[in-house]
Structure 1
Amino acid sequence: MKVLVTGAGGHLGGAVLARLRDDGVGVRAASRRLRDGSDVEWVVTDLATGDGVVEAVTGVDAVLHLASSPRGGHTHQVDVLGTRRLVVAAGAAGVGHIVYISIVGVDRVPIPYYRHKLAAEQVIAAGPVPWSVLRATQFPQFLDDLLASSARLGPVIGDRAVLAQPVDPDEVAARLAARLVAGPLGGIEEYGGPQVLRFDEAARAWLTARGSRRPLLPVRIPGRLGRELRAGGLVTEALPRGVRTWADHLADTYGGTGRR
């Protein structure tokens, strides 16, 4: 089997490439700029313009579609229109399966980026290529960065009742590889980390791991967004789940367990 991986230069892309190589899968890795790799065939592909898309899908059996543009004002061009270009080209090339990585909560949480991800799911489902969608919860690196940003002014600021479920990207990569082997689902699968944490729990563990005595300043997120986040819009009860915890991430990153 030969697989095209879009967005291969990202954090999840790196984990996916390593997993597929370990599984003995032939890989063609797509990125917006040329990269080197003796064990991977790198190609330049720009979903925003369509450059290189036809060439990238030619001769592959499946596509793992990881590419996304959450920032910079190009989200619709890349995530929705770019996904449509990819699906059309893959259909014409006879690709047998496309697996799309999405996010738990795109159908519930009113964030503009999520609306684009949901629209991309709909493009995949309506396209000519047999498909699967894997919605994952947030990576611990994202939560780590969010906490660092919220603490820029001193105290850690956030809605303490917001629920999160960090999942390790290596485990998401393994789940994507398994979905690839299992064949087209024709539906949506959700995958989350082993623990559902309140924001204040995650923040206190983060502060402990960093040896920080900064206070936690609770600020309630207003409106529908806050209600959905507090009600669990970003978490899932789906099984199986990952096994690496928030404390594991903190120990790897800061040398502390995050436990008191």
Structure 2
Amino acid sequence: MSTILVTGGTGNLGALVVGMLREQGHEVRALSRSSAEFPVDLRDGSGLDAALAGAQVVVHCASSPRGGDDVAARHLIDAARRAGTVTNLVYISIVGVDVVPLGYYRTKLRVERMLEDSGLGVTILRTTQFHDLVARVTGVAARLPLPVVPLPKGVRVQPVAVEEVADRLAELAVPEAAGRVPDVGGPEARPLEEWAGVWLAATGSRRRVLGVPLAGRAYAACRRGGILAAPGRAVGRITFDDYVERRGRVRGTGRA
């Protein structure tokens, strides 16, 4: 069994990856700034050398839409080189980072290229958006003091279950690097307005969703399908309806 390090190991995705790998019998180091055993701050690289000592595989799940992913990746790459034992650095990226000119996407693409140029063994997996992103975006729009819920018009979204992505990352967390692997997309693509309507109905809201056309190259790229997986890569099985139903059951038990 391998010694595997997971950045963002207490996050939505990372915690699932950690649990799956530990069930398989691996020694797993879940990194975070608050970890008692392996306190690591990717913003300045502190703690990385100790955390990486003897590790063969790194699964890099830590990410922040607020920026800094490229800085964190540079610290991680440099520390992995110093460790000299890492044979596979697995990175989770997003479908469309090479065609949608959003700042966050551009940074994710920059990290991909940094890894590919690092001289380390790397594995890069791109996936479509998680189900909970649709819920969060809808929730934010629903808090606006408007009689409708405004969302970008005509943007098709292909949400995938976070647990299915975690399962794929756990499969890839082996000593042999695989390079860029096939993308993972959710089982169904629909306009965001439709997904939002499903979520609002499930949460008891009767507000109407209003599709709003936007300006800009990023919106145009999304309208062209830039955030959708290629045909044949809709390999997820858990649907958004499944996600909504499960969240409803959890809320009913008082755990959400």
Work out whether the TM-score is over 0.5.
Answer: yes
Cα drift, residue 189 of structure 1: 3.1
Matched, 1:235 2:224: no
Amino acid at match of 2:240: W
Structure 1 match to 2:254: none
Matched, 1:102 2:75: no
Matched, 1:207 2:200: yes
Superposition pairs of residues 83-162 of structure 1, within 5 angstroms: 83-94=73-84, 95-152=86-143, 153=145, 154-162=147-155
Structure 2 match to 1:249: 243
Query: Which of 65, 71, 81 matches 1:70?
Result: 65
Structure 1 match to 2:163: 170
CA distance in 1, matches of 2:204, 2:45: 48
Q: Deviations over 1:224-256 (max 9, x none)?
A: 122111111111025361111000111111359
CA distance in 2, matches of 1:88, 1:252: 41
| Identical counterparts, % of pairs | 39
Structure 1 match to 2:38: 43
Structure 1 match to 2:70: 80
Cα drift, residue 188 of structure 1: 4.4
CA distance in 2, matches of 1:187, 1:148: 34
Cα drift, residue 10 of structure 1: 0.9
Secondary structure of 1:101's match?
strand
CA distance in 1, matches of 2:160, 2:180: 21
CA distance in 2, matches of 1:221, 1:19: 41
Q: Which runs of 5+ in 1 are unaligned?
A: 36-41
Secondary structure of 1:135's match?
strand
On the 8 A contact 2:44/2:75 being kept in 1, the answer is no
Moved more, 92-101 or 233-242: 233-242
Q: Deviations over 1:47-66 (max 9, x none)?
A: 11110111111111110011
Q: Deviations over 1:140-170 (max 9, x none)?
A: 1111010011111241111231011111111
Amino acid at match of 1:7: G
Q: Which runs of 5+ in 2 are unaligned?
A: 251-256
On the 8 A contact 1:104/1:135 being kept in 2, the answer is yes
Structure 2 match to 1:55: 50
Q: Please, what is the CA RMSD of the aligned residues?
A: 1.7
On the 8 A contact 1:103/1:138 being kept in 2, the answer is yes
CA distance in 1, matches of 2:233, 2:196: 26
Structure 2 match to 1:23: 24
Structure 2 match to 1:193: 186
On the 8 A contact 2:81/2:120 being kept in 1, the answer is yes
Cα drift, residue 182 of structure 1: 7.8
On the 8 A contact 1:44/1:52 being kept in 2, the answer is yes
Q: How many residues align?
A: 245
CA distance in 1, matches of 2:178, 2:135: 32
On the 8 A contact 2:152/2:211 being kept in 1, the answer is yes
On the 8 A contact 2:57/2:174 being kept in 1, the answer is no
On the 8 A contact 2:88/2:174 being kept in 1, the answer is no
Secondary structure of 1:133's match?
strand
